[in-house]
Amino acid sequence: MDKTALLENLAEKVRACKACSLYQGSTQAVPGEGDPNAKIFFIGEGPGFYEDKSGRPFVGPAGQLLERSLSKIGLGREEVFIGNVVKHRPPANRDPLPVEIAACSGWLEQQLSLIRPVVIVTLGRFSMARFLPGVKISQVHGQAKRVKGFIVIPMFHPAAALRDSSIMNQFLEDFEKNRELLIQPDKINLDGQTSEDEGDQIKLF
Ligand code: URA
């Protein structure tokens, strides 16, 4: 089976998932979508109202901001992969519970191992905590780190940016600051970096 078929196979399993109770209050699962060979994987928190209705990630106002930010640096959403920490919408958009995040984590791991992106952009603190536990988003946003073989760039959640103009400025700046890394992730200079560098700031080009 090729990667596209394997990902669709996985998405079908996600649609049938009952590993936590979130499926009960939602319309459908939102497995994620994008280029199976994407170099960049954006990971949000969980589906909201519009995503729950459509079955697609980041299609509401937060998604429109994400798409605009991508297009400003010359990327289309179809060139990246977009997914979430939890695949069913939490009731009334509440924060996902630790038990729900744990129940859903295998899906994200399988997506990551199939797609094998170079860069992971975490959107918001729940997604960031999967890769950079114990840090504060206000202190690390926009700073690329090497984690478990990926380059992880923690960013604010676009929904938070829409609620707060100061976060909006930082969100837009973080895209701009990481423009080259996002456009040419393969050109990251890994010279001299070993696994002991994990957590270090990435040296670009
Ligand atoms: N917010 C998220 O975290 N994910 C989506 O898919 C939409 C909004």
Residues 40-93 pLDDT 10s = 999 999 999 999 999 999 999 999 999 999 999 999 999 999 999 999 999 999
Average pLDDT, the chain: 92
Contact 124, 90 (CB under 8 A): no
Residues with CB under 6 A from ligand 1: 44-48, 51, 57-58, 62-63, 84, 159
Among 126, 159, 157, residue whose Cα is nearest residue 49: 159
Q: What is the pLDDT of residue 56?
A: 98
Q: Look at residue 144 and tell me whether its pLDDT is greater than 60.
A: yes
Domains of the chain: 3-203 (3.40.470.10)
Q: Look at residue 16 and tell me whether its pLDDT is greater than 90.
A: yes
Q: What is the pLDDT of residue 199?
A: 47
Q: What is the pLDDT of residue 186?
A: 85
Q: Look at residue 196 and tell me whether its pLDDT is greater than 50.
A: no
How remote is the CA of residue 44 from the centroid of ligand 1, in Å? 5
- The ligand 1 atom at the shortest distance from the C-alpha of residue 157 is 3
How remote is the CA of residue 42 from the centroid of ligand 1, in Å? 10
Contact 121, 111 (CB under 8 A): no
- The ligand 1 atom at the shortest distance from the C-alpha of residue 44 is 3
Q: Look at residue 124 and tell me whether its pLDDT is greater than 60.
A: yes
Q: Which two tokens stand for residue 189?
A: 């200079």
Among 50, 54, 69, 84, the mutation site with the greatest number of ligand 1 atoms within 8 A of its Cβ is 84
Is the pTM for the entire model greater than 0.85?
Answer: yes
What b/e readout covers 69-96, taking b as 16+ CB neighbours within 10 angstroms? bbeeeebebeebbbbbbbbbbbeeeeeb
Write the DSSP symbol of residue 96.
P
Among 99, 89, 102, residue whose Cα is nearest residue 30: 89
Backbone CA torsion sign across 75, 172, 130, 190: positive
Among 27, 28, 54, 58, the mutation site with the greatest number of ligand 1 atoms within 8 A of its Cβ is 58
Stretch (H or E) spanning 129: helix 125-131
Question: Which residue has tokens 């920490």?
Answer: 85
